[in-house]
Chains A and B, each alone.
Chain A
Amino acid sequence: MELLEIFASAGIWGAVLRIATPLIFGTLGALICERAGVLNLGIEGIMTFGAMIGWLTVYNGGDLWMGLVAAAAFGALFGLLHASMTVTLGLSQHVTGLGITLFASSLSYFIFRLVVPLASSPPTIEPFQPLVIPYLSDLPFLGDALFNQTAPTYLAIAIAAIAAYVLFRTPLGLAVRMTGENPHGAEAQGVNPIAVRFGAVMVGSALMGVGGAFLTLSAFNSFFPTMVQGRGWVCIALVVFASWRPGRALLGALLFALFDAYQLRLQAVLGKAVPYQLFLMVPYLLSIFALIVMARRARVPKALMQPYRRGER
């Protein structure tokens, strides 16, 4: 059976991890924001900006890791903007987030065009190379399938573990979750909900920026407009699918990437008979499907999208 043989190749499992990486970063970022009670629809734009600024840093002679740091820093800055508007002023999280997406993505196209004039083929950088892990990378099959990734992929998995630990095993995580469930109660316990929300949104947005930068610094080696292709919105759906839990976010992103990697290979097999656009629709339809399946079961943070003002109910 040709369609199942695909799973027997090490290549597809390597591709799954590669496709999942930006989604893991993005989903964790959105998850952290939402755990504190703030929906961050700026994600699509922040990922675009991260992709652009990460690439630009390296293009101008910076280190690849400096590119990631720059993406994180600018992500946090957009997070600061989002938090100032939605937390301090209590503006609509939906509209503010969309505004930030539109602003951040158009700003990245503007800056990119300013630095790199229109050319037939966009300039490239030297991206992250697969990190060779002694022994593990040499394993037959498993080595190619799991241990032939670039460093940011391992980082993404580590951050999922750290996020799970911090959210559920530390006082800081408790403060974040309390703020997302009941900010008034949190305040009564001596937690400053405003500060927690600012922190969570900035950290979450930094992760979104890194997720975007992975696209230009590891998955590809150049930047082009619309390259994020709705991955941010997929992440927002994955957060619901994951029931706001980092471990399940990791699983969800991997599962999603598995479908995506499979459809990419299926295209090669069935490409003649089926229009390729149907395959490209799969990720988006899958996200919607995930929402339908999980929507009833998911436990939404109770104060999600509710602005908090001291002394106001």
Chain B
Amino acid sequence: MRIERRAHRPLALVLLAPLIAIVAALAISGVLIAIAGAPVLEAFRLIVTGAFGTRLGFTETLTRATPLMLTGLAAAVAFRARVWNIGAEGQFYLGAIAVAAVCATVFSGWPPYLLIPAALMVGAIAGMIMLLVPLGMRLRFGIDEVVTSLLLNFVVVLFVSMMIEGPLKDPLAFGWPQSIPVGPDAMLPKLIDRTRLHIGLLIAVAIAVLVYFLQARSVFGMQSRAVGLNPTAAVFAGVPLAKTLIKVACLSGGLAGLAGAIEVMGVKGYVTTDLSPGYGYSGIIVAMLANLHPLGVIVAALFTATMFVGADSMGRALGIPSYIADVTVALSLLTMLVSIFFTQYRIRR
């Protein structure tokens, strides 16, 4: 028995791969739910109704999907060029704290139509800087950016904690460590009244479409793909390697920073150190489930958000730890890797 490369990748298989992966991940999680002593089918039913069954659940799922789309895109554009950006969590937080720092100070008194775009831009730039550091270390010293971007995540979260207990502490928060609020003028308009759903969702979807065209139709898209597929060949063909990688890092870090900015300005209005339940890390999973396709990211983010929101309410109803959502989502990354593999290879006797 041996593994051999397929001559061509059947399109049906490529499209089915994520589905197969998710079904496999759900099946394994089903076993865990059964071991936990809960009825499996009922649990899955509760996940779906929890995520979509009510107005609150449905809008909550979309609200959760918003940052996941952006961090998912951040990972997708980076991974395509083989820039291993695992630092989206840190970029998210730096984007968030940057927004909190400028809204109530430098930008205070600006009208919303200026303030909101300016603040979003600041968040994105903060994220960019946060990824340019590890990329710079890769280009200058040859250090694997996986480890540095991971380590920097911890540094950024500590930095945020220092800020919200120090210079950016909200004096009116009864001693709770949270940042000064961005203020009502910086809050993104709601999509649906009396829910948490805000126009960040539309921004995220629009950006996904934009990134799709950028990758499919622009010189930059072609170059970033070439750099990812074979850097040596790309350089030989005249692609400026460092320049392309820096552009990719700006885009990827910027998207993750933007995710943080949008989360602050759309949902909470201030920064705490639990602003993100691992959106940066989940973004990696979203990107892989989407097979790094920008439009696929939208769907993958919805799936991931569904699991998180649905498992919360399922967990409460059946007394199962809601960590089952994290397990399922992480499993789906592993099963996706395997199922993508079998679109490229097959087993021969």
Across chains A and B, the number of contacting residue pairs, with CB separation under 8 Å, is: 120
Tell me how far the C-beta of B292 lies from the nearest C-beta in chain A, rounded to whole angstroms: 11
Asked if B337 and A287 make an inter-chain contact with CB atoms under 8 angstroms apart, the answer reads no
Contact A281 B158, beta carbon cutoff 8 Å: yes
Query: Which of B9-17, B102-110, B214-222, B320-328 lies at the interface with chain A?
Result: B320-328
Q: What 0/1 readout, one digit per residue, does chain A (66-93) give for beta carbons within 8 Å of chain B?
A: 0000000000000001000100010110
Question: Distance (Å) between the CB of B9 and the closest chain A CB?
Answer: 16
Interfacial chain B residues near A114, Cβ < 8 Å:
36, 320-321
* B142 lies within 8 A of chain A by Cβ: yes
A113 touches which one: B155, B321, B330, B338 (CB < 8 A)? B321
Check A284/B151 contact, CB under 8 A, given A110-B321, A113-B321, A296-B141.
Answer: yes
Contacts of A233 in B (CB 8 A): 147, 150-151
Contacts of B162 in A (CB 8 A): 275, 277-278
Instruction: State the CA gap A99–B281 with chains docked (Å).
Output: 10
**A interface bracket (residues with beta carbon within 8 Å of B):** 35 or more
Q: Could you tell me the distance between the alpha carbons of A277 and B159 in the complex, rounded to whole angstroms?
A: 7
A106 touches B323 (CB 8 A): yes
Give residues 79-135 of B contacting A (CB, 8 Å): 79, 84, 86
Q: Distance (Å) between the CB of B298 and the closest chain A CB? A: 21
Does A284 lie within 8 Å of B147, measured CB to CB?
no
Q: Are B36 and A230 in contact (CB under 8 A)?
A: no
By the criterion CB–CB under 8 Å, are A99 and B337 in contact?
yes
A242 vs B141: C-alpha distance in the bound complex, in angstroms? 17
A102 to B338: give the CA distance in the assembly, Å. Answer: 16
Q: State which of A109, A278, A309 has its C-beta within 8 Å of the C-beta of B326.
A: A109
Given A113-B321, A229-B154, A100:B148 Cβ within 8 A: no
A281→B162 CA distance, assembly (Å) = 11
A166 at the interface (CB under 8 A from B): no
Per-residue 0/1 for A261-296: is the Cβ within 8 Å of any B Cβ (1 yes, 0 no)?
A: 000000000000001011011001101100110011
Residue of B nearest to A280 (CB): B158
Is the CB–CB distance between A292 and B141 below 8 Å? yes
CA distance A120 to B89 in the complex (A): 28
A95 at the interface (CB under 8 A from B): yes
With an 8 A cutoff between CB atoms, is A253 at the interface?
no
The contact of A85 among B86, B329, B338, by CB within 8 Å, is B338
With known contacts A275-B162, A291-B148, A309-B3, A284–B155 Cβ distance under 8 A: yes
Point out the residue from A236, A287, A292 that lies within 8 Å of B137, measured CB to CB: A292
Distance in angstroms from B83 CB to nearest chain A CB is 11
Cβ–Cβ < 8 Å partners of B159 in chain A: 277, 281
- CA distance in complex: A240, B39 (Å): 48
Residues of B within 8 A of A277 (CB): 158-159, 161-162, 165
Contacting residues of chain B (224-272) with chain A, CB-CB under 8 angstroms: none
Complex contact B321–A109 (CB within 8 A): yes
A110 and B324 in contact (CB under 8 A), knowing A102-B281, A275-B166, A284-B151? Answer: yes
CA distance A275 to B331 in the complex (A): 39
Contact status of A275 and B165, CB under 8 A, knowing A85-B334, A91-B338, A98-B284: yes
Q: A233-B147, A295-B141 are in contact. Are A95 and B337 (CB under 8 A)?
A: yes
CA distance A92 to B84 in the complex (A): 11
* B residues contacting the other copy or chain, number (CB 8 A): 45
- Assess A110 versus B32: contact at CB under 8 Å? Given A96-B337, A102-B326: yes
A230 to B155, CA, bound (A): 11
B341 within 8 A of A: yes
Contact A106 B330, beta carbon cutoff 8 Å: yes
Taken together as a complex, chains A and B put the C-alpha atoms of A91 and B166 apart, in Å, by: 45
Q: Which among A92, A110, A280, A296 has the highest number of chain B CB atoms within 10 Å?
A: A110
Residue among B3, B147, B285 facing the most chain A CB atoms (10 A cut-off): B147
Cβ of B147 and Cβ of A98 under 8 Å apart? no
The reply to whether A296 and B158 contact each other, CB–CB distance below 8 Å, is no
- Enumerate chain B residues within 8 angstroms of A89, measured Cβ to Cβ: 3, 338, 341, 345
Interface flag for B69 (CB, 8 Å): no
Given contacts A110-B321, A114-B36, contact A41 B338 (CB under 8 A): no
Q: Considering the complex, give the chain B residue whose CB is closest to the CB of A286.
A: B151
In the assembled complex, A299 has its CB within 8 A of some CB on chain B: no
Assuming the A-B contacts A98-B284, A230-B150, are A106 and B143 also in contact, with contact meaning beta carbons closer than 8 angstroms in the complex? no
B333 at the interface (CB under 8 A from A): yes
B341 touches A91 (CB 8 A): yes
Closest to B2 in A: A310
Question: Which of B2, B32, B150 has the most CB atoms of chain A within a 10 A radius of its CB?
Answer: B150
**Contact (A109, B158) CB under 8 Å given A233-B151, A237-B147, A288-B148:** no
- The complex places the Cα of A98 from the Cα of B329 at a distance, in Å, of 13
The minimal Cβ–Cβ distance linking B342 to chain A, given in whole angstroms, is 9
5 more contacts with CB within 8 A, not counting A94-B84, A288-B148, A295-B142, are: A91-B337, A91-B338, A229-B154, A230-B150, A284-B155
Subset of 9 A-B contacts with CB under 8 Å: A98-B86, A102-B329, A102-B333, A110-B32, A114-B320, A237-B151, A240-B147, A287-B151, A291-B143
